[in-house]
């Protein structure tokens, strides 16, 4: 038994090496290390390191070999102390075998000169069945051999280097002083001119306004009519309401259309007097929107109802249609005017503290 155990232990390394070799030969992909070009370089020189990947075409067997090129980019590989500059993949096919050459461009900048080693590079690949998703296939690895490299000094063989330029450019110290002096003298001039202009403008007498002739003032005053007060506008509006109570023709020949137009103008003037922030060019609908959006409390409700009457009469006037019930509208507008008088407001304010009693 002891002799058998010793024989088995002696034969195990050979069997393991034979199994590993047979497994390597069974793989359909192999990696060859081509080497550096050149093998000796100095600081900053770009050198190339080439690796050759061989794999068979297994399409006829219903399979496919994929080399994961995205994992072979220089920035994803451990290349220290080298720095990856670029990668070129040269692909060709010989018979049923694919041959890909991965040519890396590298350079080295390091303080220590001497022999350097580029460590092994791992290539990632997989075998999948046709139609199988890449995520379902197992990723395999194949490693290259390390590459030796000689990093030499950057000093040349010449003991003394004559790199001085023989062109004499002259001396410009005096000219630089002159330009600097001129710059300091000219730089404050814009500020000084601005200050002088400001002082002159302040000391210049203001021209007196030319008085306008009396005729021109009268024309301007006539072109801008004075808006009526609230009392005047209310009085005019009530006079129009009394006229609308009777739609028969008056002595001067005015009909319902004329009365509607005058009522629209009077109602508009009254709203403009009650709400001073209205614009003279606002339409009836714009007046109502402004009243609904800006005024508070019960006064807003009353003025909103008057603005609604203005919108109704304005639309009827534009379509040429007379009002349906002028007498009822006159009574309703009169009731709204009474609610806006100062007595009604005072009574309403007194009722609030008393709880509406």
Q: State residue 189's pLDDT score.
A: 92
In this structure, what token pair is assigned to residue 351? 């009722």
What is the enclosing helix (H) or strand (E) of 92? strand 82-94
Taking the C-alpha atoms of residue 46 and residue 88, their distance in angstroms, rounded to an integer, is 14
Burial class (CB in 10 A: 0-12, 13-18, 19+), 353: exposed
In degrees rounded to 5, what are phi and psi of residue 31? -120, 130
* C-alpha closest to that of 50 among 92, 85, 101: 101
Contact between 268 and 282 (Cβ < 8 Å): no
* pTM reported for the whole predicted model: 0.38
Helices 256-274, 326-340: inter-axial angle, 10-degree rounding: 20
DSSP-derived 3-state class of residue 11 = helix
Q: State residue 275's pLDDT score.
A: 81
Taking the C-alpha atoms of residue 165 and residue 167, their distance in angstroms, rounded to an integer, is 6
Beta strand pairing call for 29-37 and 122-129: unpaired
Contact between 89 and 69 (Cβ < 8 Å): yes
Letter string b/e over residues 255-277, b meaning 16 or more CB atoms within 10 A of that residue's CB:
eeeebbebbbebbbbbbbbbbee
Taking the C-alpha atoms of residue 248 and residue 293, their distance in angstroms, rounded to an integer, is 39
* C-alpha closest to that of 29 among 60, 2, 67: 67
What residue has token string 């399979």?
63
Cα–Cα distances in Å, from 210 out to 206, 207, 213, 354?
12, 9, 9, 61
CA atoms within 13 A on the CB side of 88: 8
Q: State residue 291's pLDDT score.
A: 81
Taking the C-alpha atoms of residue 246 and residue 327, their distance in angstroms, rounded to an integer, is 8
As a CATH number, domain 26-151 is 2.60.40
Taking the C-alpha atoms of residue 36 and residue 44, their distance in angstroms, rounded to an integer, is 15
DSSP-derived 3-state class of residue 322 = coil
Q: Which residues contact 46 (CB under 8 A, 6 or more apart)?
A: 85, 105, 106, 107
Domain boundaries, the chain: 26-151, 225-351
Q: What is the pLDDT along the chain (357 residues), one digit of tens a residue?
A: 554 444 455 544 444 444 444 444 567 899 999 988 888 888 888 889 999 999 998 888 888 899 998 898 998 888 888 888 899 999 999 988 999 999 999 988 777 788 888 888 999 999 988 888 888 888 999 999 998 888 886 655 566 656 666 777 788 889 999 999 999 999 999 999 999 999 888 887 766 556 666 665 556 555 556 777 878 878 887 887 787 666 544 444 455 567 778 878 888 888 788 887 787 778 888 888 888 887 777 777 888 888 788 788 888 877 777 666 777 777 777 887 777 776 555 555 555 554 544
Taking the C-alpha atoms of residue 99 and residue 92, their distance in angstroms, rounded to an integer, is 5
* C-alpha closest to that of 236 among 261, 263, 258: 263
* C-alpha closest to that of 316 among 267, 251, 249, 250: 267
């Amino acid at each position: 038994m002891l002799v058998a155990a010793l024989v088995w232990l002696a034969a195990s390394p050979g069997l393991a090496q034979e199994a590993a070799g047979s497994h390597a030969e069974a793989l359909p992909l192999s990696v060859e290390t081509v080497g550096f070009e050149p093998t000796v370089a100095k600081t900053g020189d770009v050198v190339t390191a080439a690796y050759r990947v061989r794999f068979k075409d297994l399409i006829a067997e219903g399979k496919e070999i994929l080399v994961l090129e995205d994992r072979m980019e220089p920035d994803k590989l451990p290349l220290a102390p080298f720095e990856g500059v670029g990668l070129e993949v040269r692909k060709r096919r010989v018979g049923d075998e694919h041959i890909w050459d991965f040519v890396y461009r590298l350079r080295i900048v390091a303080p220590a000169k001497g022999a350097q080693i580029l460590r092994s590079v791992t290539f990632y690949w997989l075998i999948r069945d046709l139609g199988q998703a890449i995520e379902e296939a197992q990723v395999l690895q194949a490693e290259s051999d390390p590459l030796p490299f000689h990093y030499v000094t950057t000093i040349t063989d010449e003991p003394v280097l004559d790199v001085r330029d023989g062109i004499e450019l002259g001396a410009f110290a005096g000219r630089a002083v002159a330009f600097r002096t001129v710059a300091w003298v000219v730089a404050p001039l814009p500020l000084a001119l601005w200050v002088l202009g400001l002082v002159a403008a302040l000391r210049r007498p203001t021209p007196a306004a030319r008085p306008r002739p009396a005729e021109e003032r009268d024309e301007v005053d006539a072109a801008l009519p004075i808006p009526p007060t609230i009392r005047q506008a209310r009085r005019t509006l009530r006079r129009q309401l009394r006229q609308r109570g009777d739609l028969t023709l008056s002595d001067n020949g005015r009909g319902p259309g004329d009365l509607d137009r005058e009522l629209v103008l009077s109602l508009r003037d009254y709203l403009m007097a009650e709400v001073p922030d209205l614009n003279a060019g606002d339409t009836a609908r714009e007046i109502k929107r402004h009243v609904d959006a800006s005024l508070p409390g019960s006064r807003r409700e009353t003025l909103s109802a008057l603005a609604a009457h203005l919108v109704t009469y304005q639309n009827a006037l534009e379509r040429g249609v007379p009002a349906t019930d002028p007498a009822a509208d006159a009574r309703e507008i009169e009731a709204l005017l009474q609610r806006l008088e100062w007595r009604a407001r005072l009574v309403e304010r007194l009722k609030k503290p008393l709880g509406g009693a």
